[in-house]
Amino acid sequence: MPTRSHRCDVRLPIPAERAFAMLVEPSSIRAWWGASRAIVVPRQGGDWVAAWGADEDAPEYVTAATITAFEPPHRLRLADFRYVARAEGELPFDGRALTTEFTILASDRSDCVLRVEQSGFPCDATADAFFAACEVGWTNTLAGIERVAKGEVALAREGVAPPVIPVLETERLRLRAFRLADVGTYARHCADPEVMRFLGGRIWSRTESWRHLAMLVGHWQLRGFGMWAVERRSDGVLLGRVGCLEPDGWPGFEIGWLIGREHQGQGYATEAARASLAWARDVLGKDRIVHLIAAGNLASEAVAKKLGARPAGNAEVHGMPVVVWESRS
């Protein structure tokens, strides 16, 4: 049977990762769709369900679908739709043929275009009213998504929805989000004069390390990228931090590294930085990546060289002169 589809786009002032997260986080879905409840099993083959109506046991409307493509941060496809509408009754055609595909086109790191395409509506008159309602409905819904992305609609739960911090795995390492339990080890690394020698030269108190970890986690929220905790896969030990960094006023998009003294010299910084570089290039589309290294930091220079970076200029961070090493793809 011939089918028809409709499509609309909206530009969002957030990175693609955040836009994708908004499509699969129940708190976000409730905010942009006005749903009373949402449940998502965020994986290929998972469920994606939203319900409307004050009475939890007798919702006015339920839409349930299966996730048939889960490709963060660029593509989410929902199919096999099942609808329950208490007032209108069943759909006059088979809703299982419908698909809704979200495509996120990243333009740069700070914004993206979200496209929604709904397909599979029969061309005959049975689907006319539903097709028209969906066409208008999705235009309004995208406006809702834009308002949530701009922060004009508060998310319904406490705090702001956390960003999805990806987990990267290499042969020996797992790069993951920092968590509260990491504070002790991280504070120990930052209280080591050898580790801090070229990072300002002053050791940090536990409170300073805690605040710095909070900055690293918050960096993901504000920028859509950030540093990972580097964990050894074989025993879960936290080795240090490696990843992307570009706080306000930074002289470029940096990939940086710090490994606790007892774990240095085993290639961990290089292995983690290679995975970070690949992620920055593939996911963020970065082609110019810098490493800011104080003169005399030979170990750090050695890591930069192994990554293929070259000195390309000078800059200052926190009043400290650094050499800008540059990796280009």
Q: Which residues bind ligand COA (CB under 6 A)?
A: 195, 198-199, 256-259, 264-270, 293, 297-300, 302-303, 306
Residue placing its CB nearer to ligand COA in the complex, 258 or 309 = 258
| Residue 265 C-beta: closest distance to ligand COA, Å | 5
| Residue 285 C-beta: closest distance to ligand COA, Å | 24
| Residue 282 C-beta: closest distance to ligand COA, Å | 21
Q: Is the dihedral of CA 217, 218, 224, 227 positive or negative?
A: negative
| Residue 257 C-beta: closest distance to ligand COA, Å | 4
Residue placing its CB nearer to ligand COA in the complex, 77 or 189 = 189
Residue placing its CB nearer to ligand COA in the complex, 117 or 182 = 182
Question: Cα–Cα distance between 62 and 98 in angstroms, integer?
Answer: 15
Closest CA to 112 of 20, 29, 30, 43: 20
Residue placing its CB nearer to ligand COA in the complex, 113 or 312 = 312
| Residue 298 C-beta: closest distance to ligand COA, Å | 3
Bridging pattern class, strands 75-85 and 254-259:
unpaired
Residue placing its CB nearer to ligand COA in the complex, 161 or 242 = 242
